[in-house]
Amino acid sequence: MKCTSKYILFSIGILFILTLTGCGTSGYRMPYDYKTKLSAFTFNTLSSEDTAVPFAGDLCVAGDENTQGGPDMSMATSAGLFDVGSCGTIYAKNLHKQMYPASLTKTMTALLALKYGHPEDTITASANVYISEPGAQLIGLKEGDKLTLDQALHALLMYSGNDASIAIAEYISGSVDEFCNLMNREAAELGATNTHFANPHGLSDDSHYTTAYDLYLIFNEAMKYDKFKEIIGMTEYTTTYSDRDGKAKELTIKNSNLYLTGDFSAPSNVNIIGGKTGTTKMAGSCLVLLSNDQKGNPYISIILKAQDRDSLYNEMSRLLEQVP
């Protein structure tokens, strides 16, 4: 009797909500809020024309482990293989383990640049583009240099230029701190709630972390932009920008993805479209890829913290062999 009463009260509440939103509308709009306790599933169990679309209705969903029948992947700390078309998770290892993402961070930086910026806009580099950390990948931007957002995105995604990420962050949000706030808000809205960004480039920071699954969510969102897919698939890029005095500076870069440069061969069952590399001492060797099977169906594969570059690509090839 108590359960029946609760159901009646709940039903009345739902009918009240629907009354407020209006009958006969084309659809019930319910924006995703990761803090809410009310799920779309609750609405869909009711007999109503107005239903909320489940947040993960078009996403791959997985637990932390799904390795049965898959490769050993002992040289990778975390890994995932996602069938984008069927929303299936083929392989998962430590999928929700929080880890350093290295330059896979730049996937989010690029996503926000494409969402809120304009490729033809001119960016003026500030003194903040100078990064002194040993081993930091730089294209050599100086204070006062001028380049377009499109040029900066090529440097960001192909060459993994950390100075380009600073320039993009300040262009979008006015400061790196504000851009990081934006990164975290956008990540939460995508459902990447095990993520916290402290910078736009991925150089190691104790408060900068994510998971393989969260990176899948971010990379999957970035794939909605044709410009993103175009850049990550390029092997080489040459452009000219200007210094503070208007003098031309030529930039020629190659993609850091060794599948695209031919240094490593992908399994015969897939075609590598592109991706993003990342390497730091703390994060190890990392890679996220977009690949197609022989029928053109897309897959996203991710490896975090392989021991070294060779291990990373060997493990990634083993992972891609699981594509049907």
What distance separates the 2 farthest-apart alpha carbons in the chain?
Answer: 81
- Quick check: is 160 catalytic? yes
CA distance readout (Å), 296 to 85, 218, 291: 10, 21, 9
The residues near 24 (Cβ < 8 Å, ≥ 6 apart) are none
Integer Cα distance of 184 and 200 in angstroms: 11
What DSSP letter does each residue of 203-232 carry, written as one string?
A: ---TT-BB-HHHHHHHHHHHTT-HHHHHHH
- Quick check: is 103 catalytic? yes
* CB 234 within 8 Å of CB 154: yes
Q: Select which of 106, 285, 291, 301 is catalytic.
A: 106
What DSSP letter does each residue of 67-121 carry, written as one string?
A: -TTS---TTEEEEEEEETTTTEEEEEESTT--B--GGGGHHHHHHHHHHHS-TT-
* CB 308 within 8 Å of CB 317: no
User: Which token pair is 294?
Assistant: 């022989």
User: Which token pair is 95?
Assistant: 């999928």
Q: Select which of 78, 93, 103, 285 is catalytic.
A: 103
- Cα dihedral 188→191→192→196 (10° resolution): 20
Q: What Rg do the C-alpha atoms of the chain give, in angstroms?
A: 22
Q: Select which of 37, 132, 146, 160 is catalytic.
A: 160
- Quick check: is 204 catalytic? no
Integer Cα distance of 116 and 102 in angstroms: 23
* CB 239 within 8 Å of CB 151: yes
The residues annotated with a catalytic role in the active site are 103, 106, 160
